[in-house]
Every structure is written in C-alpha cells, then in structure tokens.
Amino acid sequence: MHDPHRASRPASGRDRAFRHLLADSTPVAAGGRAILLQIADPVVAAGVRRHSDFARRPQQRLAHTLSFVFAVVSGTPEDAAIAASFVDRAHVPVAGADDVDRQLWVAATLFDSARRAHAAFGSDVFAARAEEVLQAYAPIGTALRVPPSRWPGSVAAFDRYWAETLDQLIVTEDARGVVRDLLHPRFAPWWVRVAMPLVRIVTVGMLPDRLRSDYGFAWGPREQRRYERAVRVLRTVRGLVPGWLLRLPGPLLVRAMRRAAERHGR
C-alpha cells in the first residue's frame, strides 16, 4: 500500500465554506484544458500516447484524473493514498513518468485549470481564497512524488513558475494524436459524443493563445463568440444547480475508486 502520509493533507482547520469550495465540481469543465496543457510537455505526451487508450475510452483519463484530484484534495488520507497508489502503478511502464519537473507541471495544470474554471463559470470565492487553495493542492504534487519544497509557496510564485514553464512547452505529433482521440472520440458512449461540440469549444477556448495555435486549432471571431456564448450558458446553468449537487461528483468518483481498489486487493 502506498504511504498514506505522502499524499495526505491537513483536514483540520478547514472551515465548512472552504471544504465546499474544494469539493465543488466546477473544475470538471476545465478537465480537457488540463489534459491538453499536460501533454504539451513532450515527455508527458509520449507517455500518454503509448500507454493510454484514448481512442476507445477518451473519458477514462479524465475520470481517473478527477478521481485523483478529489481523493487527494478533499478525501480522507486513506483515499489520497489509494489514489496515489493507482498513479504509481500506472507510471511503472512509462519512461520519465516520475520525473519531478513533469509531475510538477501535471499538478500545476490542475490548480491553474481549477482557478480558470471558477473564474469563468463559478464565483469569486476561489479568487478570494486562492492562496489557501494553492496550499490545499500541494498534496497533489507530493502524491506525484514532487518534493514539498518544489510546490510554489504563493500564488505570485506559482504565476512566475507557470509563465516560465508555459514558454518551454512544445506541442508534438504525439500530443496532436492524443487530442484527436480526446476531442473527436470514435468509440465513446453516445452521451459523450453528444456533449463533444460543447466540450471542444470550451476546452480550446480556455487554452493559452500560443498553445491553441501550436495545436493547430482554427480560432477567429466566430469561434470566440461561440466560446463566450458557451461560457455564459454554463455560468447560468451552474448558478441554478444546488450546491450539494455541484459537490456530488467528487464522492461518487472517490467511491468508484475505492471499489476498484477493493477489486485489485489494495
């Protein structure tokens, strides 16, 4: 079993509103963005292309990523340990998967995509408590074997790291192949395919301009208007959804992860 202390985070001292913020599923809307940012690192892209079944199960990596985030950030220490053990096992055959710089980038994309999603579709609560959320996300890094000292100590430090790393990214053919499978799934369930036009415009619209261009996505005034309409619709819908329902996906995903761990004897 994975060391439960490596991925645990302090649950005590968190007020109810902050726990609800961490459990909010709004960042799910930026899940595709996080993946595209991750695979803009050539090492990550090569590993994903060779060891993930995006073509047949494009929704699986997103579900696994979300399970990992919810388990580590808002689950129990035991949940965090189970999630980290799944990641450890998945990384065994992947060359360079445990490289600290790669894993720090993966963790960083999850924090940045969460705050971008809240800014676009949520409320101002995330921005007001961004420093606290940043530290709540630090165990994502340690769960990926990133030394605690490497996680940015402030949002300003995070932004400096983000800008520097973003400039170094290179979109490869491996990354473009993963994107084709992710955004144009051929074998996904019907409900996934129905949602894909909305997913595509939101995912591409949330990317930094340079990466959007490097991936080869067409983007002009027409696409920008579609993106802005999609944001308005999603923001309106999110505002109508009860808080308890926004927090429901996390526990469901973590419960499914626990069941999978039991089947595998973890």
Domain ranges, ordered by start, for the chain? 16-263
Three-state DSSP at 146 gives coil
Largest Cα separation within the chain, whole Å, is: 53
pLDDT tens digits, residue range 71-120?
999 999 999 999 988 887 876 556 556 799 999 999 999 999 999 999 99
Q: How confident is the model at residue 2 (pLDDT cuts 50, 70, 90)?
A: very low
Determine the distance from the C-alpha atom of residue 41 to the mean position of all C-alpha atoms in its chain, rounded to a whole number. 15
| Other beta carbons within 10 Å of 173 | 11
| Other beta carbons within 10 Å of 150 | 15
Phi-psi region of 140 (alpha: psi -120 to 50; beta: other; left: phi over 0): alpha
Residue 126: both structure tokens together: 């995330």
Asked whether the predicted pLDDT for residue 34 surpasses 70, the reply is yes
pTM of structure: 0.89
Name the residue with tokens 């950030």: 73
Predicted local confidence at residue 266, as pLDDT: 59
Q: Which residues of 226-241 are buried (b: 16+ CB within 10 A; e: fewer)?
A: bbeebbeebeeebeee
